[in-house]
Structure 1
C-alpha cells in the first residue's frame, strides 16, 4: 500500500470524522514517513480538505446512499488527487480500491469505490471544472454573508480554494532574496515565493535571514511602528513571527504566551535569526509586568482568515466556542490597556474575518474605556488600500490582491490609552 496515501487518508479521517485539526494529529501519522513522503501526504490531505465540497458534488449523482465515512474519504482523496494534483486516473483508482480494502469497515465496499470512481471519470475533467467552487460551511458562510454580502464571500471562497503562496519576512533587502529565491516583493514588503519547497533547505534559512510569515500577518507590527529601545509586550506571542519583527526593529521585547510548548518554536526562531527577546510562559490575564511603551495583542480567535492555508479548520470546527472566544478577547483587550503606559498604544489584531472579533470588539472597548481612542493614521501603510481602513481599524480579506495570490484575513487597529490615565480610571485595572 502507498504509505503517503494511507497517511493522507488517516489525516483526512481525523479532521472529517473526529473534528481534529491537522496540527493536532500530523505528528502521529507523518513522523514514520520519509521527508518526501511526509510532504506528499500532507499535500494530499490539504488538497482533499480544500476541495472536499466539489468532490462530494461529483460523487453525489452516482451514490444511492451516503457510504460509510471512511469509504467516502477514500473517494474524495482519489478525485482530488486526479483532478487537482493531476495524477494518472488508472493508478489512483487502483490505489483507492486498495485503501478501501485496508480500512476496517471499507473492505466490503472496494467494488463500490471502483465503480463510482470510474463513473465519475467517464464524465471527464470538464464536468469537474463545471462544478461550483467549494462553499464554506453554513456556520461560517451565514455570518460572513451578513457582514460582507454574497459577492464578497464568493470571492473569499475562490481565494480559499486557490490556497496560499509562501511569504517570507526578510531582515533586509527584499529584492536580494527575490533574486536568490525567486518570486516577487508584495506591496507591503514581504517576499512571496514563486514556488514552494522544503523551507529549511532554502537559501538564507540557516543564517536566519528571514522567517515564514504571511504578508497580512506583518501589518500589525508595521502599524505599531516599534522604535529602537522601546519596551514592547507581545502579549500572545506564539508562534512568534511578530516577536521576530519587533526584535528586528530594535525594540526591547517581552514575548508572553500561556503555552510553554508553543514558546519553544519562538525561542528556536529567535536563536536562528540571532534576535533577542525575553520569553515568559504565563497567562496574560494574571501576569504582572510593565508598564510598556506599547503592547501588541494578537488575540486568540476563530482563525477564519487563514483558511487558505488551513482548509481543515472549517471542516473540523463549528461556531460553538465563539461566545467564549469573544469574551476572552474583551478581557485581553482590557488587560493590554492596563499594561501599557498612559499615552501608550495597543495594537489589537485577529486573523479572523468575523466582525465580532474585530470592529465590534473595538466599539465595545471604546464604550468600556472613556478617553480611549482609535488611531487610523498608522494604518495608512505602503501596500494598504485606503478603502480597507474604517473608523475602527483596518480590515484585510483573502480576496484582496487576487492577481498576487491573495492574503490572510486580518483585522488590525491601533488603540491609544489616554495621557494621564491610571489603572483605576476607565476600568483599566
Structure 2
C-alpha cells in the first residue's frame, strides 16, 4: 500500500454486478492509447533483463529481437531504448524510491507490476516525457493485464505522488549507488572506494561516440566539431546526429570505435609488412586498425555472419583482410604469425556506460567462467606466434581476474614470454591508464567531460607480450 494521504485510493473498487460493464470490458472496448505498446514493450523487455538475465542487445535486434519491439515504428523503438537504458542506469535509485512510496513490499505475484512502475518512474524522474502521460499509460497497462488489474488504483496513486514529489526523492537517493552490491564490492577491492564511486557515476553520463580516423585527426575533428583525444581518436559532440550522414562516412575515412578499444592494436607499434592474426575479429574495428597500419591481416571469427559484417565494414573503408571462419581455440595455421591480437570474450563490465544491462545480466560466476575461457584461449594463442614475435591480449572487463591475474598465471607456465611494458612517456595524456607492470587499464571514470563533449572511456585491459626468441 502507499503512505499517508494516498492510502484511500490505493485499493481498487470491487465490481458489485448490476447492468454496467465490467472494468475489463470497458477497457477492451476503448481504442488503444498512443504510446501504450511502447511502454508494454519496455516493461516486458525490462523483465527479461532483470528477472531472466537476458542481454538487451539481442532483444532490440530488428531481425530476431522481441516481437513487440520489432512491430513498433522508429519513434516508438527509440523511446523504448531510451526508457530501458535510463531505467537500467538508475535502477537501484528507482527501486529505492518506489519502495518508499509503496510502503509495504508488493506480493510475490506482482512482479510484473514492479516493471510497469519502474518504466513509468524512469520517465517521470529522468526523461523528457510528460508526467501525466507516463502515469496514464502505466495505469492503462495495469488495467488491461489480469495479473495487475487489482493494482490499477495503487499504480495511479504511487505515480501521481512520485510526480508531485520527484525533486525530493531525487535528492534523497543521490547517495544510493547505481551499481549492484556484488559489482560495487569488487570495484572497491580493486580501485578503492573513491574511484569505484566515480565509475558508478560515470554510468549515468551519456556515452561518447569516438571515431578512429585513417589520418589527420585534427582535420577531421575540425570538420565534425570533434575533440582529439590522447588516444588519437576523435570524439564527436553530444549532438552530432546520425553517423551515416556525417562527412567522411561514405568515403570510408573513419569508423566508430571507443577510444579505449583503439589502444590494443596501437600497442604493436610498426606493423608494416608483418603477418598479423586478429583472433576474435568481428565486427572489425581492430582488424581495420591493423590493416591501416600496413599489416597482412588474417581476421578470424567463429561466426560466419559476423565475418560478413566485418568484410562489409572493411569494404566501406577500402581495407582488406583474409578472413577465416573457425573456433580460435582449435585454429592451427600452416605458418606462424609475426604478431597476434587476442581481444577475448569477457564479462563486458567495462562497457556499462553504453550497455547498462551488463550489470543485471552478469554475476561473479560469469566472470569466473569467462576468466577460465580467456586463459584457455590465451594459452592457445601463444602457440600461434613466431619466436621473437608479439601478442597483445585485451578485453573490455574491469575485473583483474579477467586480466592481470589470469595473465600472470599463464606467464608463470611460459618462461619464454614476458610483458613488454608500455612506457608512460610514450603515451602523453594516458599516463594514469598505464599500470605499474606496463599494461593499459582504463575505466569509465577517465577523461573528463567538456561542455560540448561527453567524458569517459570504456573500461579496457590491454597488455603486450613478447616471445624471447
Short-chain TM bin: over 0.9
Aligned with 1:303 (options 348, 351, 372):
348
Find 1:388's aligned residue among 425, 430, 434. 434
Per the TM alignment, residue 256 of structure 1 is displaced from its structure 2 partner at its CA by 0.8
- 1:402, CA displacement in angstroms? 2.9
Unaligned 5+ segments in structure 2 are 1-32
Matches within 5 A, 1:14-29: 14-27=48-61, 28-29=65-66
- 1:247-277, Cα deviation, whole Å (9 max, x unpaired): 1212111111122232232122111212101
Q: Distance in 2 between matches of 1:69 and 1:61?
A: 17
- Please point out which of 103, 106, 122 is paired with 1:66: 106
Shift of 1:307: 0.6
Contact kept in structure 1, 2:271 and 2:295, CA below 8 Å = yes
What is the distance in 2 between the residues matched to 1:209 and 1:387? 28
Q: 1:283 and 1:257 mapped to 2: Cα distance? A: 7
Out of 415, 427, 440, the position equivalent to 1:370 is 415
After TM superposition, give the deviation of residue 319 of structure 1 in Å.
2.0
| CA distance in 2 between partners of 1:137 and 1:242 (Å) | 31
Equivalent of residue 193 in structure 2, options 150, 157, 160: 150
Of 166, 170, 184, the residue aligned with 2:227 is 184
Secondary structure in 1 aligned to 2:58?
A: helix
Is 1:353 paired with 2:398?
Answer: yes
Distance in 1 (alpha carbons) for counterparts of 2:134 and 2:399: 39
Question: Which of the numbers 178, 191, 208 marks the counterpart of 1:135?
Answer: 178
Separation (CA, whole Å) in 2 of partners of 1:116 and 1:262: 46
Give a deviation string over 1:300-331, Cα, whole Å, max 9, x none. Answer: 11111111111011112222233321121112
Kept in 2, the 8 Å contact 1:378–1:414? The answer is no
The structure-2 alpha-carbon separation of the partners of 1:201 and 1:74, relative to structure 1 and needing over 3 Å to count, comes to: farther
- Give the Å deviation of 1:10: 2.6
Identify if the C-alpha distance between structure 1 residues 366 and 39 changes in structure 2 by more than 3 Å, giving closer, same or farther: same
Whether 1:41 aligns to 2:86 is no
- Contact (CA 8 Å) 1:78, 1:96: kept in 2 or not? yes
Alignment partner, residue 359 of structure 2: 314
Structure whose alpha-carbon radius of gyration is higher: 2
Contact 1:170 1:209 in 2 (8 A): yes
Alignment partners' CA distance in 2, 1:85 and 1:184: 27
**Structure-2 residue corresponding to 1:91:** 133
Match of residue 281 from structure 1: 325
- Bigger shift: 395-404 or 410-419? 395-404
Gaps in structure 1 of 5+ consecutive residues: 420-429
Contact 1:362-1:392 within 8 A present in 2 as well: no
Q: What is the match of residue 3 of structure 2? A: none
TM-score, normalization by structure 2: 0.85
Counterpart-to-counterpart distance in 2, 1:333 and 1:76: 42
The CA distance in 2 between the partners of 1:102 and 1:166, in whole Å, is 40
Deviation at 1:395, TM superposition (A): 1.1
After TM superposition, give the deviation of residue 208 of structure 1 in Å.
2.0
Which residue, out of 142, 162, 174, partners 2:217?
174
- 1:397 offset after TM fit, Å? 1.1
Aligned residue number for residue 27 of structure 2: none
Partner of 1:409: 459
Matched residues, number: 419
Pick from 84, 94, 98: which aligns with 1:55?
94
8 Å Cα contact 2:347-2:362 kept in structure 1: no
Deviation at residue 411 of structure 1 after TM alignment: 0.8
The RMSD of aligned alpha carbons is 1.9
Q: 1:4-38 deviations in whole A, cap 9, x for unaligned?
A: 33332232122112210011211223332333332
Q: Which SS does the other structure have where 2:465 is aligned?
A: strand
8 Å Cα contact 2:268/2:464 also seen in 1: yes
Q: Distance in 1 between matches of 2:356 and 2:231?
A: 25
Equivalent residues of 2:213, 2:234 under 8 A apart: yes
Alignment check: 8 A CA contact 1:204 1:210 kept: yes
Is the Cα contact below 8 Å between 2:177 and 2:197 reproduced in 1?
A: no
Query: What is the CA distance between 1:228 and its match in structure 2?
Result: 2.1
* Counterpart contact for 1:174–1:189, Cα < 8 Å: yes
Structure 2 CA distance for aligned equivalents of residues 352 and 329 of structure 1: 12
Q: Tell me which stretches of 4 or more aligned residues in structure 1 moved more than 4 Å.
A: none
1:239 match: secondary structure:
coil
Structure 2 CA distance for partners of 1:49 and 1:307, relative to 1, 3 Å: same
SS in 1 for 2:204: helix
- Contact 2:397–2:460 (CA under 8 A) maintained in structure 1: yes
Structure 1 position 134, deviation (Å)? 3.8
Report what 1:326 is aligned to: 371
Distance change (3 Å), C-alpha of 1:5 and 1:149: same
Matched, 1:110 2:152: yes
Instruction: Give the direction of change, closer, same or farther, for the CA distance of 1:100–1:285 in structure 2 (3 Å limit).
Output: same
Q: Which moved more, 1:150-159 or 1:396-405?
A: 396-405
